[in-house]
Structure 1
Amino acid sequence: MFFGGNPFHGGMPGGIPGGSGRGATRSDVDTTKLYETLGVDKDASKKDIRKAYMKLSRTHHPDKGGDEHKFKEISAAYEILSDDDKRAQYDKYGLDGVSGDDVGAAGGEDLFSMFFGGGGRSRRNSGPRKGPSVNHPMKVSLEDLYNGKTVKLAVNRKVIQGTPVECTRCKGQGAIVEVRQMGPGMITQMQRQCDQCGGQGQQCTFKSERKILEVHVDKGMCEGDKITFGGMSDEVPKMEPGDINFIVQEKEHELFKRKGADLLVVKEVSLNQALCGFTWKIKHLDGRVLVIKSRPGEVIKPEMNTKEALPFVKVLPDEGMPSKGNPFVRGNMYVMFRVEFPDDNELPSNVIDQLRSLLPEPDVPEEYDPDEVEVVHLNPADLRSFGKGGANQSSNEAHDEDEDGGGRPVQCQQS
């Protein structure tokens, strides 16, 4: 695995070089914002800080109609200033010194965005950035998604060998600035990625490391689910290693179709089976053999008894997929039936006479005089051809095009 660096890692010329910001104290660090949030002086005691926090939290608590964002600011400021170590870091380095710590009162928000509205600051200063993650597709059978499975996979990753050193060409910026003269009295500055360090700001050597990962496929996982191994991607200077993600890709099954936790299977039955009953043996995903039988007198119909022409479907409760995170709750198995009718001229006349006498609602012959009516027969057809009949269909379509402006204009010839 190889990843290119960020060509603008060091920022624009004159900006702050990349890094955590926890070196020597800088004169431009704001170390008063948290005290101002609580309305106390910088030399306030812990008792005064707690007193101010209790007063403000009662006023701005969301349950009492207060501003939720303001309440988060107050809580974060108190959590930092009430801790001696965090307060000392803040007094020396500002939010740079504490933004990488576990400040739970911030409610998951970035401290810089919380107190400064996201302007002029970057999350880059809150700690080391995370390197790029790598996604690997992993094809999994429906049986393994039903039962769960652990597989061992080998991955190769690059790890830093030795200690990285600062790039001498860009001085750790990751980018270099080139000044070009465009004309008399006109110059331009262009920033580009440092070609010596690849935009990392540091130079180092890598070695290949082979890792064996145990990838556990949970029961009920779906297409697109991720199995993540944190920090197992390639190492990058001045960054935390990214993650390796295995993306589940569900293999097509020869019998079952899946949607969520439900399974669908299609069963073709003859007209005899649809009317007189059927017995069907299938092998489930966990190896069990199920024998599905129709109830005595049950009729399988070509379509459901609804206004819409829906396929005839039956359900087997709790025989679907395990639910992800709760494998003891399973979906259902739906069986969609397709009734196969006999082909033309397949039934002999004696069989037709027997069926007519046995089946309900036989055809009642119509009375008519052959000399006065016309007897016709039906031919096979496709409903997609409905509306396309008639000799004038092509001319009608051309007329429609003319109305829509799609036809050619007619020009008048002058003599």
Structure 2
Amino acid sequence: MVKETRYYDILGVSPTATLSEIRKSYKKLALKYHPDKNSNDNGEKFKEISQAFEVLSDPKKRDIYDQGGEQALKEGGGGDFNFHNPFDIFDMFFGGVSRSRGPTRGRDTVHPLAVTLEELYNGSTRKLYVTRSVMCPKCGGVGGRPGCARPCETCNGTGVKVRLRQIAPGVVQQSQTICDECNGSKEFIAPKDRCSNCSGNKVVREKKLLSVEIDKGMMDNQTIRFAGEGDRVPGIEPGDIIFSLDEQPHDRFQRRKMDLIYTMFITVGEALAGFRHVIKTLDDRQLVVETKPGEIIKPNELRCIPNEGMPRYKNPFERGRLIIKFFVNFPDSLSQDKVEALRKILPFSPHDEIDPDAEYCELHPIEEYSSPTNDHQEAYMEEDTDGPQRVHCGTV
């Protein structure tokens, strides 16, 4: 007995329906409720039909659904599960593209753009040259003498290659890519007939100057898109030129979304008795940071200055926090008279009680001593058949 019947109800079949009955029902309903025939439906019914068919046509997914319902699918009972595009499923049954896709579109071109934290804080305009393909001015994008082109044999004159991928038993997903042989032009030109300027490619390379506006508050990996400025190939809709921002490390600040983190180094005396320091901001202002005498700053303590962090993208008057992390520099050693002076003004914990047979150890900098490697440890264990010998600290 199945847990839920909604998908069966959508296709109008019983929970005992065969795969043939499920496929037959899907074909009938998909044609009836296709968005090209039901402009008022907004495609929701068509989407439901496709999702129901995708589950019930796959024995593994159908078994999960029968036992646990839709929730079992969402929780990954059969592994990661996402519904495929309903139009791709429709294409498999009716041979071709299910709705008008428009002209073939060229690839987008992505350029990484290194930017400083100052540019992301203040905003910036960069003038950048990019290289792209444009129609050859000598042959007008024909590629050779008039009438020399013939349909490309690799793609059968379609300009695209079709790839099929099975997404469910009896269901194949269709995808298209631009033909590599003709670069989407759908045509082939013999070498003797090719244009001397573009070698029959119909396009040549040119440099294009773009003004890239980096807005205040933009994030690392955020993109700036120039629509339709990509390669211009005859018969192909130009793609976009995209700049992907690559935020560079800063020598004074670290960014955490809208917050800026600044590490301030102070002495023990400043931590106890107060200090006054100046922080230079990313827009060259000076912020005076001070504490009053007797206001204690602990190592790694965090304080913040509101509204001195990064500006919010598209709303630069709203800013995050400037977070200050304090690093207290301790002296390497103190003279005896300074130790005695400190004992008089600072609280000290009483000494622990010490047993007569206690062992006294000397502390060393950790970087001077490393742990034994596994090889050394194994050799040590082999030599001592009675077990590892206890290593004592030096006694006084």
Shorter chain as denominator, the TM-score bin is 0.5 to 0.7
Query: How many Å separate the matches in 2 of 1:388 and 1:195?
Result: 58
CA contact (8 A) 2:33 2:45 kept: no
Rg bigger for which structure?
Answer: 1
Amino acid at match of 2:309: G
CA change 1:264–1:119 in 2 (3 A) is farther
CA contact (8 A) 1:141 1:250 kept: yes
Question: C-alpha displacement at 1:257, in angstroms?
Answer: 0.7
- Does 2:311 align with 1:322? yes
- Does 2:123 align with 1:148? yes
Structure 1 unaligned segments of length 5 or more: list them: 1-31, 43-48, 62-66, 74-108, 177-192, 303-310, 400-415
Query: How many Å separate the matches in 1 of 2:126 and 2:357?
Result: 76
- Does 2:365 align with 1:378? no
- Match among 308, 311, 321 for residue 332 of structure 1: 321
- Match among 189, 200, 203 for residue 185 of structure 2: 200
CA change 1:242–1:264 in 2 (3 A) is same
- Match among 340, 348, 355 for residue 353 of structure 1: 340
- Does 2:44 align with 1:68? yes
Amino acid at match of 1:69: K
Amino acid at match of 1:294: T
Query: How many Å separate the matches in 2 of 1:175 and 1:70?
Result: 28
Question: C-alpha displacement at 1:113, in angstroms?
Answer: 5.2
CA contact (8 A) 1:112 1:118 kept: no
- Per-residue CA deviations over 1:89-137 (Å, capped at 9, x if unaligned) read xxxxxxxxxxxxxxxxxxxx98955976886333795211211111111
SS in 2 for 1:239: coil
CA change 1:290–1:395 in 2 (3 A) is same
CA change 1:264–1:195 in 2 (3 A) is closer
Give 1:167's aligned residue: 150
Question: C-alpha displacement at 1:210, in angstroms?
Answer: 3.1
CA contact (8 A) 1:300 1:312 kept: yes
SS in 1 for 2:202: strand
Structure 2 unaligned segments of length 5 or more: list them: 1-27, 50-83, 162-177, 189-200, 384-396
Query: How many Å separate the matches in 1 of 2:183 and 2:351?
Result: 90
CA contact (8 A) 1:110 1:123 kept: no
CA change 1:375–1:116 in 2 (3 A) is closer
CA change 1:206–1:373 in 2 (3 A) is closer
RMSD: 4.3
CA contact (8 A) 2:276 2:290 kept: yes
CA contact (8 A) 1:167 1:196 kept: no
CA change 1:397–1:268 in 2 (3 A) is farther
TM-score by length of 1: 0.56
TM-score by length of 2: 0.58
Q: Identity across aligned pairs (percent)?
A: 34
CA contact (8 A) 2:184 2:236 kept: no
SS in 1 for 2:363: coil
